[in-house]
Amino acid sequence: MSTKGKLGLVLLTGVVAFSGVAPAEDETKLEFGVGVDYFSKYIWRGQNLQDDGAIQPSLSFSYGSLSGSIWGSLDLTNYADVDGDGDRDNSGEITEVDYSLDYSDTVPGLEGVSYSIGVINYTFPNTPFDDTTEIYAGLGFDLPLSPSVTLYRDVDNIDGTYVNFALWHSLDEITELAPDIPVGMEISASLGWGSNAYNKGYWGINDDSAQDLAISLTFPFELSGWSVTPSISYITLMDSDLRATDTFDTDSDYIVFGIGVSTSF
């Protein structure tokens, strides 16, 4: 097992959410975005990385089919021993900064099918952990529930594979926060699978298996030029062997509350 997996401190996140929607050709312009999210727990692929809340700011850009982001996570409580001295001392520390680059477009000759390829570099300031890098490729389909599948391959420390299957549906308006402030609803579900090497590196289990099932509800609305997205998620581990480990936590089922604000220019 890697040191990261052994200590339960693999402070990673999936910063790319593949939606299967490619930009139109006439949208080729440079745009920037800023945002910040708060989550009551930081759960990544079923791994409990911060049990008592994290603030996660981001900067992004897009130019036609190309986009990129810088994403960070700041711990709010002393949940983990980030410097290896035996004390829980991570409160107020930025323990992860990720850099991603993505290219998404439609698949030539296949109507209703889009693709996404990219790379994510994970870094861990204020921790003893080594950086790592994943490359990924995904397909999205213009079908009911917008199904998509994305394969992530760690080409650095873990040398393993994680595959994510996802569904998504959006409702434009379910209520109004105030006159002229409609609130929508987005429903998403995803299921992950990890290869033998992936599970060995992160969980200490030498076998491939299903990973995490996540079901989320978000309620987006616009306020003074900002997008606001309250959310609630249920996340559970699907494999009994993963549940039996205490690599990341003694629990395997989580309810996570969050709220995010973002804008683009």
* Highest-confidence segment of 76-80, 81-85, 106-110: 106-110
Q: What is the pLDDT of residues 207-243, one digit of tens each?
A: 999 999 999 999 999 999 999 999 999 999 999 999 9
In the block, tokens 């991570």 appear at 90
Quick check: pTM over 0.85? yes
pLDDT score, position 142 = 97
All residues at 6 or more sequence positions from 73 whose CB lies less than 8 Å from its CB, including other chains: 11, 13, 42, 50, 54, 55, 56, 94, 95, 96, 97
* Highest-confidence segment of 25-39, 84-98, 200-214: 200-214
Q: What is the pLDDT of residues 124-178, one digit of tens each?
A: 898 777 899 999 999 999 999 999 999 999 999 999 999 999 999 999 999 999 9
Q: How confident is the model at residue 28 (pLDDT cuts 50, 70, 90)?
A: confident
Average pLDDT over residues 174-199: 96
pLDDT score, position 236 = 97
Q: What is the pLDDT of residues 52-66, one digit of tens each?
A: 899 999 999 999 999
Please determine, for residue 180, whether its predicted confidence score (pLDDT) is greater than 80.
Answer: yes
Please determine, for residue 78, whether its predicted confidence score (pLDDT) is greater than 50.
Answer: yes
Average pLDDT, the chain: 88
Q: Which long-range contacts (CB under 8 A, 24 or more apart) does 208-213 make?
A: 209/238, 209/239, 209/241, 209/242, 210/238, 210/239, 211/45, 211/46, 211/162, 211/237, 211/238, 211/239, 211/242, 212/43, 212/45, 212/46, 212/236, 212/237, 212/238, 213/189, 213/237, 213/238
Q: How confident is the model at residue 3 (pLDDT cuts 50, 70, 90)?
A: very low
Domain coordinates in residue numbering, the chain: 3-264
All residues at 6 or more sequence positions from 179 whose CB lies less than 8 Å from its CB, including other chains: none
CB-based contact 186:169 (threshold 8 Å): yes
Average pLDDT over residues 99-118: 97
- CATH architecture assignment, domain 3-264: Beta Barrel (2.40)
